[in-house]
Amino acid sequence: AQSVSQHNHHVILSEAASLELGCNYSYGGTVNLFWYVQYPGQHLQLLLKYFSGDPLVKGIKGFEAEFIKSKFSFNLRKPSVQWSDTAEYFCAVNARYNFNKFYFGSGTKLNVKP
């Protein structure tokens, strides 16, 4: 069965610290990979996505993620976090040739202390 694992459930950082959130998936077919963010009181929004090509993808607000196929991972990074990055982050895997199904991880809550 397909699954998405986010090992960090709650991360607390100070402003300007570097961030890396882990995401691993299990799926045998071709996948597209996404990170979604949910700011307090808002709906889920797309942060960045990987379809093909350069495995290092850049998204909004200075976030980036690296797809490592051999490790089935798609970790999210940001060199220097801001207080406004406080949110919950969800990794998602899309089964490209399986009716566009999406599977989400359990999420990581990020608290950035000012």
Partner 1 sequence: EAGVAQSPRYKIIEKRQSVAFWCNPISGHATLYWYQQILGQGPKLLIQFQNNGVVDDSQLPKDRFSAERLKGVDSTLKIQPAKLEDSAVYLCASSLGGPGNTIYFGEGSWLTVV
CB 48 within 8 A of CB 60: yes
Q: Which is nearer to partner 1, 70 or 99 (CB)?
A: 99
Query: Residue 7 is encoded by which pair of tokens?
Result: 């090992």
Nearer to partner 1, 49 or 77 (CB): 49
Farthest CA pair distance, the chain: 43
Closest distance to partner 1 from the beta carbon of 60 (Å): 13
110 near partner 1 (CB under 8 A):
no
Q: How far is CA 27 from the centre of its chain?
A: 16
Give the nearer residue to partner 1 in terms of CB position, either 34 or 67: 34
Q: Which two tokens stand for residue 101?
A: 């199904």
Site string for partner 1, 23-62 (x = CB under 8 A): ---------x-x-x-----xxxxx--x-x-----------
Nearest-approach distance from CB 14 to partner 1, in angstroms: 24
Q: Which CA distances in Å does 82 have to 43, 50, 57, 105, 114?
A: 20, 24, 20, 23, 8
96 binds partner 1 (CB under 8 A): yes
